[in-house]
């Protein structure tokens, strides 16, 4: 029972962080119908920026803030430089997909060049800011509590931005029908850039939180976690914020329980097993709206 | 504009030239293939050529699905892995010889393709890609976890050398290279026949406009599954060959990045073409070799290559539309030749 509870708590905490990454996929997919494979590498970039600024003695919180800003800007630049020209040319979705794969190659491999950061693992500053909490036989690390609370707060902020602000309204309008949104005077390109910025920023925060918990970073860590977060976004219903949260939690908990009871090899693919089951039962995810085919 | 016209004219004359002398080219090609064992290639060159031919074949496999039918798969490494494991395990554990094992690998993978094709009836566009992505990860898990059969993380080792009428086919005597070149050529011929067949035309119709194809009375679900099955068969057979390249296979040979590499071959070469697969495979396999001088930067440049390619030539390097007259099937010609009144009955 204790191991079960422990695994569940681990899963919930990890799930919250997945949700933060998943939101980035979800926002972009909602507007562009594009799986942004560069997102995982932006998460890595964010984590590395935190590492860089902390090692430059900037202090933990300012470093995280700087990292958020830089990762957001990088995501925005990726869109401006590589994806916007493709949109203007009305190119096929698959070209966009390959472009994001190429971008993720570039970011990951620039990070692992010896003179930049190097490909070996590095120790990341711990986020254990206060003492651990023990309830009965279960110990919860303080970094886990921070991860959960910060992720929850950020997701609430994101929900607020999307649902209550003017830019959020434009985002939703663009998602529903970008041409009509354009006719209503919405600057669609700005909205898309803003979406990429939000996604990049939340990925950087997730990077700081997750790496602060595991205390290790490497340039290649982003691809798997990115795919899993993406699976989480799809499980919840991609394009829907609370869907990402539920998806993230489901994936996180299932993963930790599977690792506990079925063996560590099962851990990583668990997200995809859930994904396929959910997609076969509900093709648009748990909270997904039924898509309408436009003729 | 004028330049475009010029390019088109050049392409057109180039195509007619190739078409006119196609038998001569075929003879030269066959002679070249037969002389492979006597060319005196060294180990590195042989391996490189093998990988190019292998990826050209994998590209053609994915091309049937993505280039013809327009279903984007991000999980072809899953099929590739299944083919490799079935072929290897049948030889190592069950003592089969290579040829039936290769066939079994293709058939079994095709069966898995059928199973994976079923959700394609319910899912569309990106969601289907996502399912294939998940499929690849699950195959990976099964390969790692089912230790009693697949030997888990250690992979399958000591895969025997195949024999062709008593002659061992190894990398050293060029036999393996010849084998994969023959397999790839057969695949290319098969793809060409498919492209010009009724089924192939239906695939292209589904890609261009699924709704319109349904309106024309085409059972699109059935053809999508057929496309999955053909694609999986080719990929599985290619996997069967891959088990011979190193003599061992392990689960990490068939990860998400492999799927992306196969997809890149298809996209960079030219979606829907066969020449493009060969070119794409050659480009993407040669690039890491040629650019060794760039050291750590080479995968940065590789990424840049993909991005620039999509930006300036999204149809792929060799992805031009054929300027040759449309190739009608015999049946279609017959129907067209018949008088107006009989057309309905013959169709």
Q: Which two tokens stand for residue A250?
A: 């489901």
Concatenate the DSSP letters of all residues of A229-254 into one string: HHHHHHHH-TT-HHHHHHHHHHHHHH
**pLDDT, average across residues A196-202:** 91
CA proximity to B258, closest of B85, B75, B52: B75
* Higher pLDDT among residues B126 and A251, named by residue: A251
pLDDT digit string, tens, across residues B219-262 = 888 999 999 999 999 999 999 999 888 888 888 888 888 898 89
Per-position b or e across B232-258, b if 16+ CB within 10 A of its CB: bbbbbbbbbbbbbbeeebbbebbbbeb
Looking at residue B54, what is its pLDDT? 93
Integer CA distances (angstroms), A216 to A9, A71, A211, in order: 21, 19, 6
Q: What is the ipTM of this complex?
A: 0.83
Q: Please check whether residue A86 touches B, CB under 8 A.
A: yes
Question: Under an 8 A CB cutoff, do B138 and A35 touch?
Answer: no
Distance between CA atoms of residues A6 and B21, nearest Å: 72
- Give me the phi and psi of B200, to 5 degrees please: -60, -40
The dihedral region occupied by B40, where left means phi > 0, alpha psi between -120 and 50, and beta the remainder, is left
Q: How far is B174 from chain A (nearest CA, A)?
A: 34
- Those of residues 228-267 in B touching chain A at CB distance below 8 A are 256-257, 260, 263-264, 267
Cβ pair B123:A279 closer than 8 A: yes
Q: With bands split at pLDDT 50, 70 and 90, how would you rate the model's confidence at B1? A: low
What are the tokens at B53? 């031919």
Q: Which of B127, B129, B141 sits opposite A266 (nearest CB)?
A: B141
**CB distance B199 to B178 below 8 Å:** no
pLDDT for B341 equals 57
B69, B10, B41, B308: which is closest to B173 by C-alpha? B41
A134 contacts chain B (CB < 8 A)? no
Distance between A276 CA and the closest CA of chain B, angstroms:
6
Contact state of A114 with B296 under an 8 Å Cβ cutoff: yes
Q: Do B303 and A85 touch (CB under 8 A)?
A: no
Q: Residues B105-126: what's their mean pLDDT? A: 85
| pLDDT value for B3 | 66
Strand partners, A133: A140
Whether A294 shows a pLDDT value over 60: the answer reads no
Q: Could you tell me whether strands A138-140 and A133-135 are parallel, antiparallel, or unpaired per DSSP bridges?
A: antiparallel
Burial of A245 (0-12, 13-18, 19+ CB in 10 A): buried
Asked if the model's pLDDT at residue B131 lies above 90, the reply is no
User: What are the E-state strand segments in B97-236?
Assistant: 163-164, 167-168
Measured CA to CA, the distance from residue B20 to residue B26 in angstroms comes to 12
Chain B interface, mutation test: which of A38, A89, A98, most B Cβ atoms within 10 Å? Answer: A98
Task: Tell me if A51 sits within 8 A of A214, measured CB to CB.
Answer: no
**Average pLDDT, integer, range B136-161:** 83
Q: What is the C-alpha end-to-end distance of chain B, expressed in Å? A: 42
A270-288 pLDDT, tens digit per residue, is 888 888 888 888 877 888 7
Residue in B317, B333, B229, B307 with CA at minimum distance from that of residue B265:
B317
In tens, the pLDDT along B39-75 reads 777 888 888 888 999 999 999 999 999 889 888 888 8
CB B273 within 8 A of CB B67: yes
String of DSSP letters for B101-112 = HHHHHHHHHHHH
pLDDT of residue B323: 66
Q: Which of A151, A148, A152 lies closest to A133, judged by CA?
A: A148
Strand A138-140 and strand B163-164: the pairing is unpaired
Residue with tokens 């990454």: A21
> Does an H or E element contain B314, and which?
none
Q: Which of residues 37-76 of B touch A (CB under 8 A)?
A: 66, 72
B74 to chain A: nearest residue by CA? A97
* Range scoring the smallest mean pLDDT among A21-30, A247-256, B2-11, B207-216: B2-11
pLDDT of residue A116: 77
Which residue is it, tokens 């529903």? Answer: A176
Contact B314, A92 (CB under 8 A): yes
Residue B27: pLDDT over 80: yes
- State the average pLDDT over residues B108-131: 83
pLDDT of residue B345: 47
Contact residues on chain A for B258, CB-CB shorter than 8 A: none
- Closest residue to B126, CB basis, from A33, A263, A272: A33
Instruction: Indicate the DSSP class of residue A135.
Output: E
First to last CA, chain A: 54
* A223 interfacial to chain B (CB closer than 8 Å): yes
């Amino acid at each position: 029972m204790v191991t079960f509870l422990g695994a569940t708590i681990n899963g919930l905490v990890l799930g919250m962080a997945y949700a933060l990454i998943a939101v980035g996929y979800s926002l972009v997919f909602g507007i562009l119908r594009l799986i942004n494979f560069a997102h995982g590498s932006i998460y890595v970039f964010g984590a590395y920026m935190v590492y860089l600024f902390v090692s430059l003695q900037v202090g933990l919180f300012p470093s995280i803030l700087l990292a958020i800003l830089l990762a957001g800007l990088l995501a925005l630049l990726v869109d401006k430089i590589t994806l916007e020209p493709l949109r203007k040319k009305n190119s096929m979705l698959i070209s966009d997909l390959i472009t994001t794969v190429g971008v993720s190659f570039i970011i990951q491999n620039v990070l692992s060049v010896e003179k930049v950061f190097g490909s070996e693992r590095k120790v990341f500053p711990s986020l254990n800011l206060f003492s651990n909490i023990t309830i009965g036989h279960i110990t919860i690390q303080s970094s886990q509590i921070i991860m959960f609370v910060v992720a929850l707060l950020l997701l609430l902020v994101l929900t607020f931005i999307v649902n209550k602000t003017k830019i959020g309204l434009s985002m939703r309008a663009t998602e529903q029908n970008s041409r009509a949104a354009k006719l209503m005077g919405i600057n669609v390109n700005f909205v898309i850039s803003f979406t990429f910025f939000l996604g990049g920023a939340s990925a950087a925060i997730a990077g700081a939180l997750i790496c602060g918990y595991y205390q290790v970073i490497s340039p290649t860590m982003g691809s798997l976690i990115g795919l899993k977060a993406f699976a989480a976004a799809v499980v919840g219903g991609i394009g829907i914020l609370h869907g990402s949260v539920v998806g993230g939690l489901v994936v996180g908990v299932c993963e930790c329980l599977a690792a506990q009871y079925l063996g560590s090899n099962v851990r990583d693919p668990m997200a995809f097993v859930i994904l396929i089951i959910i997609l076969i039962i509900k093709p648009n995810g748990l909270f997904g709206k039924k898509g309408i085919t436009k003729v | 504009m004028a330049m475009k016209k010029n390019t088109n004219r050049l392409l057109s004359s180039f195509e007619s030239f190739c078409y006119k002398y196609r038998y001569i080219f075929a003879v030269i090609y066959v002679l070249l293939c037969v002389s492979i064992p006597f060319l005196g290639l060294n180990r590195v060159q042989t391996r490189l050529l093998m990988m190019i031919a292998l990826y050209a074949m994998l590209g053609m496999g994915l091309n049937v699905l993505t280039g013809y039918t327009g279903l984007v798969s991000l999980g072809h490494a899953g099929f590739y892995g299944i083919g490799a494991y079935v072929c290897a395990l049948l030889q190592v554990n069950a003592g089969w010889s290579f040829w039936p094992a290769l066939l079994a690998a293709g058939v079994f993978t095709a069966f898995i393709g059928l199973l994976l094709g079923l959700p394609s009836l319910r899912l569309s566009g990106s969601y289907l890609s996502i399912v294939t992505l998940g499929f690849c990860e699950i195959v990976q898990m099964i390969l790692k976890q089912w230790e009693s059969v697949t030997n888990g993380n250690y992979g399958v080792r000591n895969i025997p050398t195949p024999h062709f009428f008593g002659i061992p086919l190894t990398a050293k005597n060029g036999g393996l290279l010849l084998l994969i070149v023959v397999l790839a050529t057969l695949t290319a011929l098969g793809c060409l026949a498919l492209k010009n067949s009724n089924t192939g035309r239906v695939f292209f119709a589904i890609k261009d406009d699924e709704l319109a194809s349904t309106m024309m009375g085409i059972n699109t679900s059935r053809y999508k599954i057929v496309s999955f099955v053909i694609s999986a068969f080719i990929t599985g057979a290619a996997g069967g060959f891959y088990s011979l390249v190193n003599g061992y296979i392990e689960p990490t040979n068939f990860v998400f990045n492999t799927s992306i590499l196969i997809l890149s071959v298809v996209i960079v070469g030219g979606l829907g073409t066969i020449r493009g697969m060969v070119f794409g495979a050659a480009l993407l396999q040669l690039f890491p070799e040629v650019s060794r001088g760039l050291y750590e930067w080479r995968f940065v440049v590789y990424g840049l290559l993909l991005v620039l390619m999509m930006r300036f030539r999204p149809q792929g390097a060799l992805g031009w539309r054929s300027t040759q007259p449309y190739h009608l099937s015999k049946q279609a010609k017959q129907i067209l030749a018949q008088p107006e009144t009989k057309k309905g009955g013959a169709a």
